Structure 1
């Protein structure tokens, strides 16, 4: 193990994968642990959180799995309390939870809109509400929010609720960054582009005629580097922003997209 996160305690929400392979949250949790952090791996699904816990422990890392609905304030409060109970402090809050609903304002139901906003946006408000007070006591902390280039660009098909929630995340991050800068707390965003993770397979495949391999090939071709990124690309960007190497960086958005938005500009 390296030591970039030695003695740090990290909460990762959405720390499980939505299917086989390495999602953004699972990769981030594992990478933080490899760099010496103690990790609270939080997911809505117990089996997914436990899987991430097992991966980290099998590598000699320290991890505790926790179950929480991050769109529910009471659950989030229990999550923060569990982290303090197990580890005594919270140094990094990594908000990774995200769900996708394809559709514009006509196709998207009101129920789907509310669900996506609650899970993708309200969760960031709630985790900050219950975690930041502990960071304020420490006068130190880092928040890393995983947004998306969908917050700043049209990327090929409509998902209005997802784009709206991720765009709001950018503004929320900047607000927190400035408000708490003098208190030793930093807040930054990572904006992944096209990523080959388990999350894209079910929600997006119908947009490509139900053919997953066709979807992957087309998304690879659209990326200037010739391939999509993966969960590890997102994780390494988050690791940098969470680490003391980024101590003078706050209120920023780090785009991780293989040049896609640069070409679209």
Structure 2
């Protein structure tokens, strides 16, 4: 089976002249080697960094925002090294004044904000009994309150412009049980509801709001979550590949290309939707292809 690589730039500049503000553009967990399309690779990016690069490759100027300025700067420099236009800002997206200041600075760079992309997210393990109140509050603040705040300070700008697109990163954990991480699942379910609410309220004002729900992805964060278990990279990632009906995990590029489409005029009639990008995982139980003989492989 041949899987097309999305590592190299693609043709098309449907976002030429647009300005994207991307929260969560850095990579919190850098790794020396990763897993890409069934093999070990030294070029594996997190979802935020890959998405920022995709936006830039489609012609957009990107303001890369992260709580870690160095991480945001690294992404911006990578974009500029490929001939794109990018800026870097630090922001604690759980604090209203920090978000307000970041949006104002972003606006000063380009005079408008065409796309708001919310990629920030953390996960804490545990069901309702095991998850501490502190962890629950932190996950809700980072995953949900941050999106409320970025929308709060960006929507008036888009309303004045008469146009804008908002992309929120949800998860297939919002609609399917995966593992016991009640705070994460609850926050992502709320992200879907927030997306629908914004879309409905602002549809007549030329502003669209959609969400993307990724499934199993091969990212540095996945590896870092298992680093203390002394895992074998190939064994662990092959196992994850086999858990997906398409037999391979998605990458940040897949999320980025979906986001670029939803941000473009080609998606002009799409709003309030949750686009699942998961290789078929949420349509099959268990997540393995049907073999035609009444059982799954």
TM-score (norm 1): 0.95
Distance in 1 between residues matched to 2:257 and 2:195, nearest whole Å: 19
Match of 1:211 among 231, 238, 250: 231
Residue in 1 that maps onto 2:211: 189
- 5+ long unaligned stretches in structure 2: 1-10, 31-43, 287-297
Any idea what SS the aligned residue of 1:108 has?
A: coil
Counterpart Cα distance in 1 of 2:189 and 2:226: 20
1:180 aligned to 202, 209, 225, which one?
Answer: 202
Cα deviation, residue 203, structure 1: 3.1
C-alpha change, 1:204 and 1:158, in structure 2 (3 Å) is farther
Rg larger for: 2
In the alignment, what sits opposite 2:39?
Answer: none
Identify the structure with the greater helix proportion. Answer: 1
Contact map agreement 1:8 1:91 (CA 8 A) in 2: yes
Q: 1:57 to 1:102 in 2, by over 3 A?
A: same
SS at match of 2:212: strand
8 Å CA contact 1:228–1:258 kept in 2: the answer is yes
Alignment of 1:99-110 (within 5 A): 99-110=122-133
SS at match of 1:228: coil
Find the partner of 1:167 among 178, 184, 189.
189
Distance 2:181 2:246 in 1: 24
Taking the aligned partners of 2:272 and 2:76, their CA distance within structure 1 comes to 30
1:233–1:256: 8 Å Cα contact kept in structure 2?
yes
Relative to structure 1, the CA distance from residue 122 to residue 255 in structure 2 (aligned partners, 3 Å threshold; closer, same or farther) is: same
Q: Does 1:31 align with 2:58?
A: no
Separation in 2, partners of 1:233, 1:190:
10
* d(CA) in 2 for partners of 1:88, 1:31: 22
Gaps of 5+ in 1: none
